[in-house]
Structures are given as C-alpha cells and as structure tokens.
Chain A
Amino acid sequence: MTASEIVRMTAAELGAAVRSGQTSAEEATGAYLDRVAEVDGQVNAFLHVDRDTALAQARAVDARLAAGEDPGPLAGVPVAHKDVFTTADMPTTAASRILEGWRPPYDATVTARLRQAGMVVLGKTNMDEFAMGSSTENSAYGVTRNPWDLDRIPGGSSGGSSAAVAAFEAPLATGTDTGGSIRQPAAVCGLVGAKPTYGGSSRYGLIAFASSLDTPGPLARNVLDAALLHEAFSGHDPRDSTSVDAPVPPVVEAARRADVEGLRVGVVKELGGEGYQPGVLRRFTEAVELLESLGAKVVEVSCPSFDAALAAYYLIAPSECSSNLARFDAMRYGLRVGDDGTRSAEEVMSLTRAEGFGPEVKRRIILGTYALSSGYYDAYYGSAQQVRTLIKRDFDAAFENVDVLVSPTTPTTAFPLGERTGDPMAMYLADLCTIPANLAGNAALSVPCGLADEDNLPVGLQIMAPALADDRTYRVAAAVEAALADRRGGPLLAGSAFAV
C-alpha cells in the first residue's frame, strides 16, 4: 500500500486495513512520519516527534496482532497527542517554558488507554500554553499554521492537533476542551471535534487548566473516526474523582446510524446574529435547513443566561488556573531560575514563574487570584458560579423540549495570525458559542458545514446534547456530514491546500 493511500484513508479504514493485513502498524506509522517530515516545517503542528519510538511502538502493535490479540478497531492507527497529556516515553510541556524538557514518569489515562487500544503515538502537538488561548499563538514554542491558509490561526488551544489532522499529518488527534479548545480548532480547520460530557473522559494525566471544565476529546477528519477515538479513551477512571461511573454513550453506533428523522432540534437564539460573520451565519442557516429536510423538527429556543457565559467563564477558569498552576514552583520539576545559593526559596519561585510563564498565563493567574481574594470572592467567583447554575437551568429547560441544540461553533472563520494577539477580549470572543456547554458540563460537537463565501474557509456547526447523551451529537453530525458530502461530491477537506 502506498504512503499516500495510507494517509488518505479514514482512521476506520486504516484500522480495518491493518487488521486484514493489507498494511501494518509499522507501514502506517512510517507513512505518517514521512508526511510529518514533509509538511510540518510549514505547519508546525508538532512539538515533539520521535521516529524511532513511534516505529518501535508500531512493531509492538504488529506483534500483538500477530499473536492473535484484538486491541480494537483502531489498532495500528497512529494518533497525535496534545502536549497536555502526560506520556511516559516523551516530553510533556503544555507548550510552556516552565516545563521545557520535562519527562513525566507516568502516562495519562487517555494516553494509556489508547496504547492499550493499539494506537501508535506519533508525537506531541503544539497548543496555547497550558491550554489558555484560541489561536495557538500563546505557545512558548512558536505558532502553528492553519493548513487551509498558512497565514491564519489553526484555532486553539488544541491548534497543533487540529492542524496535524487537517494537514494529513495524523489520522486522529487528542485535544482538551475547557471553553471550546477542541470544537473551535476543529471548526476553523474543517474537522470534527467533540467535547464529551464532563467526566465522560478521564482528566488523570491531563495537565490542569480549569479542573471543573477541562475535558479530553477527539479530533478527526470525519464523524465516525471521532466516535471511534472517543469510545477508545472514554469511560470511568477511578483515578479521577470527577469521572462519571456510567457506560460510555453509544457514539460509534450513533455515527453509523446517521439519521435525524423525528429528532427535535433547537436553534439557540442567543448564539447568532449581530457580530457573527455573514458567511458563517449563511452556512449555519443552510445546515439547519438541511436538518429539517432530513426529517428533523426545528424550533427556536431561548437560553437567556448564555449572554453571561463568557463573563462567568473568564472568572471561573482563571480562578481555578491560579490555584492549579501554583505547583510550578521550581522545587520538584521543570524550570528553575536564580538558584545561585544567595536567594530564598520564595525568590527562586518568583523568578522562575516570572520567566517560565507567558503573558496570557500570567494574565489569567492574576485575574483568578484577584477573583478568589477575600472581599472579592462573592462578587466574582461566587457570582460566576451562580451564572453557571443559571446556564445549566437554561440547558435543562431547553432539553425538555428538544433533543439537541445547534449553533455556529465560532462567530468567524479562522482569523489571520497576529490579528487578535494584542486584544485579549477579541480573542476571548472566539469561544462565545462553545463556552456554555463547558459551564454546564454537557456534550457538544463541531462538524464542518461548508466554507464561508467571503474567505473560502471552513465553518463549523455546533451540536449540543444533555450530559451523557453524546451519541445524539454524533447522530446529527453524521447525518449532516453525509448529506453535505453527497451534495459536494466528497469530503470538505479534499478542497484544502494540504489535501492528499
């Protein structure tokens, strides 16, 4: 099988080809490593690639298969991990200077489960430092470029993962979604990206940004592949107290079912209109019409508290991060600055953190420290938690009448690199539509719904479902994907500059 045949396949097809012996894990891994070597100089999706380790892993998977073991449908399929998941055999930095060169002694649960499933780790992908950002421009190791237009952002914070998959450097990638960090990069790169129900996928080994929001999830070139990856790493983990002890929703089955007949779809009134790019709204409206034409019952739904979601998020997430990132103190691991024998421990901590953290991370630590301070707690953190409750109630009320809610995933398509780096508020608006699902903890997914007329860049349709009803998002997404592919005559990514 040729290398270009391999990288063009879906993950499901590649897994089947490995199982049937048409190709091997080693051959598949080699093909992708070659692709990374060929294009990553332009894209910069990866922070770490280790050819020898990857090939050795691949050979081990081939040996498992040869021995008659059945690790599952993704055995032999390569995967790229966002550099926020710990990997025992590779450095893990969260794209921060403060963790440069750190080698974790343990695998994250997501990492370990995918190894168990026979997937081969190609490398670690770039991201906004500690997952704080919407463009991957906050990485300490350089920007990642959007394969649709190298002068534009790949989204963030999982921008390395989205760019890698969109540039055919990996068939699948993991990401984390705290306020939209999987769905937004998926949308602007023309991919499928899911934020599972909070607690549906384990946070153990995920370097924490905001613990009550962080959710590991899949990025893929199509809905079924995303579902296969979702299923492979999800499920209860006793090492994460917030992990839900419930069966994994039947996402693969839903992705294969792909019908919306009789499904009640709510269009969120508050997520659209003024401030949204016209081309984004046009594709979104068409997607809603498409769903109606496929047999869904569409109604408009109001979720008034969503208007306060962004403000609440930018109090809760920084508050949690101000505490979560306190452990980076130069004492046990990572960067240490100024330890010349004359300075106190506190001074070394202070110098290290000053040099080790980038400006956005510092901004959020300061914001969160302030919001949790005595005398301000009730007005900021306390009020934000109340808003969070109201948002949950809006979702609950909406889901009494509809099965899923839909909105554009992002207000705009991929914006040019550098456009918003000087304006944090403008950057934060990129997550306007995705944040409510994080605050409520329910399931959400972004699926491509075409290219905006103005710039020929991908637009994402966001589908939101109640907690533990992740399968509904896959059902709707698969139906949209199939109908649009029929209409278009092929996958959206076939039109990308990096298509193979």
Chain B
Amino acid sequence: MVGAVTNGPATSGVGPAPVAFDDAMRSYEPVLGLETHVELGTASKMFCSCATAFGAAPNTQVCPVCLALPGSLPVVNGAAVESAIRLGLALNCSVASWCRFARKNYFYPDMPKNYQISQYDEPLCSDGYLDVTVDTPEGPREFRVEIERVHMEEDTGKTAHMGGATGRIHGAEYSIVDYNRAGIPLLEIVTKPIEHTGELAPQVARAYVAELRDLVRSLGISDVRMEQGSLRCDVNVSLMPRGGTEWGTRSETKNVNSLRSVERAVRSEIERQAGVLNSGGRVVQETRHFQENTGTSVPGRSKEEAQDYRYFPDPDLVPVAPSAEWVEELRATLPELPAAKRARIKAEWSLSDEELRDLVNADAIELVAATVEAGAPPADARKWWLNELSRRATETEVELADLPITPEQVARVVALVAEGALTNKLARQVVDGVLNGEGDPDTVVEARGLKVVSDDSALGAAVDEAIAGDPDAAEKVRNGKVAAAGALVGAVMRATRGQADAGRARALILERLGVQ
C-alpha cells in the first residue's frame, strides 16, 4: 500500500551574511503574518469515521475514504465544524451563515486524493482578533493581533525519507508513507499582517502563538502539543525600510514547532532578510524550512514558480450553513478564556505583575489554577509548579504540562504536607515516585514507606540512640549550646532514613537533655 519511490534532490542556496538583529532593527520595520494549524481532538477524522489517536501503528487508522479509494466520498464531521465555530467565536470572529469546502489541487504522495479538502474564498470564520501581552523593560505591553480567518481542512499523511543520512528527501533512497494522519481535521488560523511591533516582533509572534495555544486548550478542542505536531506554525516575515510605507517581499518559514522556535525563526529571518537587502539584493518570495539545531532556516521551493492550486468548490460536499441559533448556543458554551482567567487569578491570588508574568512565562497558569481547584492553597500550588516541577521539566526537556503528574496529584502532595504526613523533603520523593510512574501520591507513600515517623516511641528510641552515640554533642547541649543539637537531629534523621519530623526530633532531644 505504501509508495516506495525515490525522490529528486532538493534545491539549496546560500545568501549574503545576516545582519545582527539590533542593526537590522535600526534600518527596517518588520511585518509579520502567522498561519497556525491546529489538529482537532475529535474522535474521528474530518471526512470519515477513522480514529485519530496519535502514535498508532502506521496505516492502521485508514479506510476507503481517507485512502481515497476509487468511489469513496467524504462526509463532514459535525464535531469539527462545532470546534471551528467555537474557536472563531473565542477569537471574536464573525461566523459565516453559508460557506463551502474547496479542493486545493496538487500532487504529493502523502496526499491520497492529490487534492486537499480545504476552504478557499469562503472561510467559516473571519475578521477577529486576539490580544497578546509582551514584556518590555517598561512593563507589559499589549498588542492586538487581527485575525483574517479561521477555516477547516484536512491533514495529509506523513512521508518518511529512508536510507539517507539526514532523514530529509535529499539523499534518501526511498520514501514510505503513513496515512493515519491523512484526513485528521485541521483548523487554519491566519492573522492579518502584524505591523508596528518594531524590535518586539519576535516576542509578539511567540506571545501570539502561546496565547492562541492557551485559547485552544481552554476550549478543549485540541491538545495543542507542538512537539507532536498538533499545533504547527508558519511564519511570514517581510521587512520595509524604517519610515517606509510599502511592504517588502515576504518569505514563509515552515516547520516552526515550538514557542521558542517561533521567536527564533522571526529573529533569524529578520537578520537574514536585512543581510540580503543591505547587500543590495532582493528578497525572494519563497518557502523556507526552520532548522531547530541552528535556529535558522533553509530555502524550500520558490513561490515565484508557484503551483496553481486550481481551487474550486468541492462538488462532493454540501455547503456548511450554521444557523444563527446554533452559533449562539455554541457561544454560550465558551469557557472562561485565558485572558479573563489571568485577570481573575491575578486579583484572587493578589499577584504582582511579576508573579503573574512568572506564571505565564513558565506556562504554569492553567496547571496552578487546576491545582488550586483541586484544593491546594495558591501559594503552595505556585511554589510546586514554578520551582520543583519547572526544574524537573527543564531537566527532562519536556513542557511543564507534559510532566507525568496531574494538578490533582500535586494538590494531594500539598495536602499531605499540610497534614504533617510528609515533610517537604519526603514530598519531593513522593513527586519523584509519581513522575516515575509509580502511581498516585498515596500509593507512592505506601510503596516507598515514606510516612513521617511521628510515633514518639520509635522516634524516642532513635533519639536515645543518637544521644548515646555522640556524648560530646549531648554534653554541649546540656551546657546550653543548643546549636549542637543539630548534629543529634542529623543522626536521628539518618537513622530514620529521613522519615522523622525534624522539628519533633529536635524537641525530643532538648527534652531528654533537660533543655526547654
């Protein structure tokens, strides 16, 4: 079923040296445009009933429709339309009362029909906006990013290039195709040109994608995992001379698959284009591919020899015509959106601008809020996510939200500490266990035997042993050098493998040695 065919070489080119960002910004004003694809989390595909689970064995989630077998026909997934309308409403768009799907025609081995069902001149949602906040030395600054459109389409399959050194098409011996992804519903969100950002362009781009991701997540329509490709971003950049009015030629950088990459891609493309323009060159309208390892991009196909997609309304599908009543019903289902939630949380938890910024930057706001919702005091919830868990995420190179621990589990750990059942040190070990996949906090406590030793007779024995084992220290304490008790507490903690409550142990030692 899989085409095993060789591919021709990709083109490559080397341009003039890039210009340092600050220098570039002195001469040019960037104009951005962002096209974001969100894979919807619907149970079935856009036009057939195949499952959409990520990571299934290749070509197991396919059927005559998504393999484009002769005679098969698409049928629109109503849940995907609903998701699209909800996102459109959350982005302050107007929702079309009548629109059609269009066929985008081009040949590619991972696209079974050799056309993609998409929307062309009749998008479902249009003309909205999303406000984003960027930190500046002068404090937070808000930008309104205008949304051109939100439209529905289907994803393609995935091609893997085999036998080469790089996994890229160039140098590969053959290619294999997995059609599981073919037909997964996508929403494409396209911004209008974003102007007047100046040197904040990279941050604005990043803040927009982050805000959009949070918005989508809050709607529950996608898991928006950039590393799994369920949120993908194409970055359009052009430069115009400072004080100019005419936009320059834009490039489109694809394969930008993390928030950090969005920022880096904009920055490096500004530097590259400034280099081209400063050397008297001309920016070519082209598609470029972002390279995670270098933080720069390489040229793909040139749009100046662009394909003609021959869009036309898909005759296999009937128009989508959401009634005004339905749209209003969906509007009523919108949850509290991230911006409103942030404002509320800031007020409710009495956070400063900086504290809120730390939460936002750590991508922890939803996690903390969920932890609070599960019963933890806000300060404890923040502390856990911003310190211990952020550190673990950085160490293991995953997003905070992808750590294998839930807000409910964190809240339980907080509760155990508050009850006195765990010390902070033990609590970290419990978190270790949860992250290790050993189960819920209570299960880990049980299995690892991590309960605080609060039984005075057991603790008392350990204290007596410690005093007997270090008579010098005991004598010093008796003579009023209370600080010397630290060595005895340490011995107790060692003897109890850290499970004793250190405060209680200290009190017992002082009591035995007649010091109150």
Contact = CB atoms under 8 A, between A and B. Distances in A.
Interface of A: 85-86, 92, 94, 99, 102, 104-106, 108, 203-208, 210-212, 238-242, 319-320, 322-323, 326-333, 339, 341-346, 348-349, 369, 372-374, 377, 381
A242 B113 contact: no
Contacts of A319: 312
A58 to B, nearest CB: 25
Contacts of A326: 105, 107, 113-115
B403 interface: no
Contacts of B310: 322-323, 369, 372-374, 377
Given A242-B316, A339-B5, A344-B7, A349 B107 contact: yes
B114 A329 contact: yes
Nearest to B65: A239
Given A94-B70, A211-B316, A374 B308 contact: yes
Given A238-B75, A327-B68, A329-B107, 17 more contacts: A86-B70, A92-B71, A94-B70, A105-B69, A106-B72, A206-B71, A239-B73, A241-B74, A241-B316, A331-B2, A331-B109, A332-B67, A343-B5, A345-B3, A345-B6, A345-B109, A346-B8
A206 B72 CA distance: 8
B177 interface: yes
B175 interface: yes
Nearest to A212: B315
Interface string B283-296: 00000000000000
B165 interface: no
26 contacts: A104-B69, A104-B71, A105-B64, A106-B64, A210-B315, A211-B316, A239-B73, A240-B75, A241-B75, A241-B316, A319-B312, A326-B105, A326-B113, A327-B68, A328-B70, A329-B114, A331-B109, A331-B112, A332-B3, A332-B112, A333-B70, A339-B5, A343-B5, A345-B109, A348-B3, A377-B312
Interface residues of B, number: 39
Contacts of B76: 241
A346 B73 CA distance: 25
Interface of B is mostly: loop
Given A242-B318, A326-B107, A329-B114, A345 B175 contact: yes
A242 to B, nearest CB: 6
Interface of B: 1-8, 64, 67-76, 103, 105, 107, 109, 112-115, 173-175, 177, 308, 310-312, 315-318
* Residue picked from A85, A106, A241, most chain B C-beta under 10 Å: A241
B1 A332 contact: yes
Contacts of A108: 71
Nearest to A213: B315
Contacts of A333: 1, 69-70
Contact of A346 (B67, B69, B107, B174): B107
B59 to A, nearest CB: 10
B71 A205 contact: yes
A101 B73 CA distance: 22
Contacts of B74: 241
Contacts of B312: 319, 323, 372, 377, 381
Given A320-B315, A344-B5, A377-B312, A327 B71 contact: no
